[in-house]
Amino acid sequence: MWKKIIAVTGLAWTLPLIALAEDSYAINVSFLPESVENALEIIILVLAVIAAVYAVKLAALSQGGALEKTWNWLAIVALVFAVLEIYGTLNGYGILRIGGLGDVIELVMAVVLVIVFYRTRKDLLKKLLGKN
């Protein structure tokens, strides 16, 4: 019951923020200079690709292990994140713009993460409670 109350309360205060974020921002603050932002974008892109490569390698190593499915799904999430960063960088530099693609990729990543955590929790609870 408390989980439902927290979820509804969380949605209640985020909906007005979403309404304000239409095209004009209520607050516009620049935290970093544009050159630093560009450098960070490249660094994040490189790190995302490296993380995806290592996630795939880790998933390959865990084949047959107790959490094989979890590692496989997390590797997929890492790959989706890398694709999101590649698209975001291309979009940021004006090389490629496909309206709504970033949102769709983020949605896929969020859905896969929820599935991974739900299934892993369910599997771990079964093992802890001794239900096979």
* Residue 23 forms part of a structural domain: no
Instruction: Identify whether the C-beta of residue 59 lies closer than 8 Å to the C-beta of residue 74.
Output: yes
In contact, 81 and 109? CB cutoff 8 Å: yes
Is the predicted pLDDT of residue 32 greater than 90, yes or no?
Answer: no
Total number of domains in the chain: 1
Per-residue model confidence as pLDDT tens digits over 84-118: 999 999 998 889 899 999 999 999 999 999 999 99
Residue 3 within any structural domain of the chain:
no
Query: Is 11 within the bounds of a domain?
Result: no
User: Is residue 85, in this structure, part of any structural domain at all?
Assistant: yes
Tell me whether residue 19 is in a domain: no
Confidence of residue 64 (pLDDT cuts 50, 70, 90): confident
The answer to the question of residue 26 being in a domain is no
Q: Return d(Cα 30, Cα 119) in angstroms, integer.
A: 40
In a domain, 16, yes or no: no
Residue 65 lies in a domain: yes
Domain that holds residue 88: 33-129
Is the model's pTM score more than 0.75?
no
Which segment of 15-24, 47-56, 113-122 scores lowest on mean pLDDT?
15-24
Which residue in 17, 81, 79 sits closest to 44, CA to CA?
81
What's residue 18's pLDDT?
A: 61
